[in-house]
Structure 1
Amino acid sequence: MNDTIKVELTSTKKQKPIADQLEFGKVFTDHMFVMDYTEGRGWHDARIIPYQPITLEPSSMIFHYGQSVFEGLKAYRTKDDEVLLFRPEKNFQRLNLSNERLCIPHIDEEFAIKALKELISIEKEWIPTASGTSLYIRPFVVATEPYLGVAPSKQYQFIIILSPVGAYYKEGINPVKIAVESEYVRTVKGGTGTAKTGGNYAASLKAQEESGEQGYSQVLWLDGREKKYIEEVGSMNIFFKINGEVITPELNGSILSGITRSSIIELLKYWNVPVVERKLSIDEVYEAYEKGMLEEVFGTGTAAVISPVGEMNWEGKKLVINNGETGPLSKEIYDTLTGIQTGIKEDPFGWTVVVNESELVGSNKQSGN
């Protein structure tokens, strides 16, 4: 694969949104990265072009068989005007794990990071600086071959788009309410739960819609076989602080391996806070609540970072956690993680990566029409 990235700059730039009015995922920057895959040729024609619609044939396989994967990460601008990424290598490693599960050709992870850095360097002014804001990054791969046979596609596009964002939940760091799902199933071991693929999220929409009608922001999924063991929240991994110990469900083949999740586990161990990964039943959580030992619950993910849970509803039983307020550990994790991500706090783990323009790959630039 040629490492050169062709760059076509737009001549009509969009108006940037007001930082304090940002919502999540509704505004997109001026440019996007695109690269094609053709069987026998591999990945080719890497380019940064003006943000624009994708033109595909109606018979393109993505529309019929759902062969797609995606990732989510963020860029932050520090008070010194540096641009930081948070563990981007982990996102592209996970993208390739998703590719493997969906029979999509692997991408060159190192090249993908360099391409992302070049795109961000072009769009640097789109990175908001207000508290709680960031530039959300969405890399994704879709099957583009025009063919109606059920088989892996022979053609793909790898695309990266960028979106300046505010808080994922309107509640921000304030606690959300979640409903424990006991009817629908998202995925099971052996399925696609460990991959970040659109079908997993499509399968969650019905339960989320119904819980939303009852005033709940998200659903908490139980395992698909026994409907007994806690797995994850719709867009987040989940942690429970019970009697001084932090517990998160172990990765069992149907839970997404969250990068924020693993970072928090490392952070808690660094702080000498007891943390374990193991099977955890909803019955055990309810028993801990009844005994007054359920101290905090919080979800974790790139979009929300930390989302404290103030109330859980399980089969009509309402569990109000920490009086519906953000717990001290949740707050400390949020402040520390966002502090590292934005360069305010020391990064003892080497998690942040500076977008240094001197390291960018060679590119051919031209102005758009």
Structure 2
Amino acid sequence: MNSPLAAQHSPSASEDLVGLFDIRPSDAPASAEERQAAIAAPKFGTVFTDHMARISWSAQDGWKDRRIERYGPLQLDPATAVLHYAQEIFEGLKAYRHEDGSVWTFRPEANAARFARSAHRLALPSLSVEDFIGSITALVRTDVEWVPSGEEASLYLRPFMYASEPFLGVRPSLEAEYLVIASPVGPYFAGGVKPVSIWVEREFSRAGAGGTGAAKCGGNYASSLLPQVRAQEHGCEQVCFLDASTGTLLEELGGMNVFVVKSDGSVETPELTGSILEGVTRSSIIQLLSDRGHTVVERRIPLDELLAGIEDGSVTEVFACGTAAVVTPIGRLAGSSFDHTISGGGAGELTMAVRGELTDIQTGRAADRHGWLRRLA
């Protein structure tokens, strides 16, 4: 039975893609009891399903050996290029179990397109949209019993690619491996949806002009870890970065985009300058806000202007968004010379309304007006 509110992407549309993958069942899958225990109270990114998808690439042969195989450790030569030159990219998306038991994902074509852009920036081979969607579909169908149900529950999918040629030398790798692993997850933040405190980092930058900020690669996240530690030392859950050129403009959090809600009902978000990741959730929220009649402006937002708006009341809500956390209200913005509470520290009305609408679409509780959903199983 199909979820009645979702766009009807027939499972048969993915059959040709799934058929490209050789299914090699695990010889040691989790028992039904072990699986149920793992998905009963999942912690983000700590428990993984029985299988993983994999495709190998070489400059000589191109993409080959598409397969679903047992989840397990990777064997790497000590000289493997990724270990020395960080030539690696990844994506993140989720599979949702709808009330009728069917399993769907959200805008995978957008993730596939971003994956291709990231690959280009990191001088990695381009993976087709067909292989991207075929890999996640084949994996989800193989491990469909791992897809949890219930509020805030989903199967997190992590496609990634790395330079696998064993050599020491600064040049693009002539070999690469593409994989997808999957993890049953609950809420990203252990305490559930509640306003978070954000530390605005002035000393360190996430990315600069001409860098890899618009690519989803591990190096961007590695550079955010020390500032994240500093944020926690100041009693904040997340860190917000400013632009590298002037240190005055709002950019993004370590792993999320930022939105600012004004008292006149308009909404602003930092424009894509090449150093900000183009989030799939970000673009979806822009569409949903526009559908609601809100004016959405993408522009460069000075930090001082944002702080002044919080003080005089012209800024009423601030929130962050991303695949993992979906939409997270920001209740406090702090830095070395300021500490402001937003909207009394509570979750804003528009923030929670947009979050509810987005999650309702993803889980099949609301109509998919834009054709964002694709059925996997």
Corresponding residue for residue 340 of structure 2: 319
Q: Return the match for 1:281 from 281, 299, 302.
A: 302
- For these two proteins, the number of residue pairs brought into alignment is 356
In the aligned structure 2, how far is the partner of 1:196 from the partner of 1:164? Answer: 22
- Asked whether 1:22 is paired with 2:38, we answer no
In the aligned structure 1, how far is the partner of 2:342 from the partner of 2:191? Answer: 16
In the aligned structure 2, how far is the partner of 1:179 from the partner of 1:44? Answer: 45
Contact 1:30 1:123 in 2 (8 A): yes
What are the within-5 Å matches in structure 2 for residues 110-259 of structure 1?
110-243=130-263, 244-259=265-280
Unpaired runs of at least 5, structure 1 = 357-369
SS at match of 1:348: coil
SS at match of 2:24: strand
Corresponding residue for residue 6 of structure 1: 22
In the aligned structure 2, how far is the partner of 1:289 from the partner of 1:190? Answer: 32
* 1:21, distance to aligned residue in structure 2 (A): 2.1
* 1:116, distance to aligned residue in structure 2 (A): 1.2
Unpaired runs of at least 5, structure 2 = 1-16
Contact 1:239 1:248 in 2 (8 A): yes
Corresponding residue for residue 7 of structure 2: none
SS at match of 1:163: strand
Contact 2:39 2:146 in 1 (8 A): no
- Asked whether 1:32 is paired with 2:52, we answer yes
SS at match of 1:202: helix
* 1:275, distance to aligned residue in structure 2 (A): 1.1
Once the two structures are superposed, residues 276-325 of structure 1 have per-residue CA deviations (whole angstroms, 9 ceiling, x without a partner) of 10010100001111211220000010000001001010224111111111
Corresponding residue for residue 362 of structure 1: none
SS at match of 1:148: coil
Contact 1:134 1:166 in 2 (8 A): yes
Contact 2:202 2:247 in 1 (8 A): yes
Contact 2:259 2:320 in 1 (8 A): yes
Contact 1:3 1:111 in 2 (8 A): no
In the aligned structure 2, how far is the partner of 1:322 from the partner of 1:107? Answer: 44
Contact 1:179 1:314 in 2 (8 A): yes
SS at match of 1:307: strand
In the aligned structure 2, how far is the partner of 1:153 from the partner of 1:316? Answer: 45
- Asked whether 1:82 is paired with 2:98, we answer no
* 1:171, distance to aligned residue in structure 2 (A): 3.3
In the aligned structure 2, how far is the partner of 1:18 from the partner of 1:205? Answer: 28
Contact 2:38 2:47 in 1 (8 A): no
Give me the TM-score of the superposition, normalised by structure 1. Answer: 0.94
SS at match of 2:177: strand
In the aligned structure 1, how far is the partner of 2:162 from the partner of 2:19? Answer: 21
Contact 2:52 2:179 in 1 (8 A): yes
Contact 1:57 1:146 in 2 (8 A): yes
Q: Return the match for 1:306 from 324, 327, 338.
A: 327
Q: Return the match for 2:112 from 92, 116, 127.
A: 92
- Asked whether 1:344 is paired with 2:360, we answer no
SS at match of 2:37: coil
Contact 2:18 2:138 in 1 (8 A): no
Corresponding residue for residue 364 of structure 1: none
In the aligned structure 1, how far is the partner of 2:179 from the partner of 2:306? Answer: 41
Corresponding residue for residue 44 of structure 1: 64
What are the within-5 Å matches in structure 2 for residues 261-300 of structure 1?
261-300=282-321
* 1:328, distance to aligned residue in structure 2 (A): 0.6
* 1:252, distance to aligned residue in structure 2 (A): 0.3
Contact 2:231 2:237 in 1 (8 A): yes
Counterpart AA for 1:347: D
* 1:170, distance to aligned residue in structure 2 (A): 1.9
Contact 1:20 1:130 in 2 (8 A): no
In the aligned structure 1, how far is the partner of 2:18 from the partner of 2:299? Answer: 45
Identity %: 42
Once the two structures are superposed, residues 2-57 of structure 1 have per-residue CA deviations (whole angstroms, 9 ceiling, x without a partner) of 96311111132223435452111000000000110111110100110010100010
Change (3 A) 1:18 1:2: closer
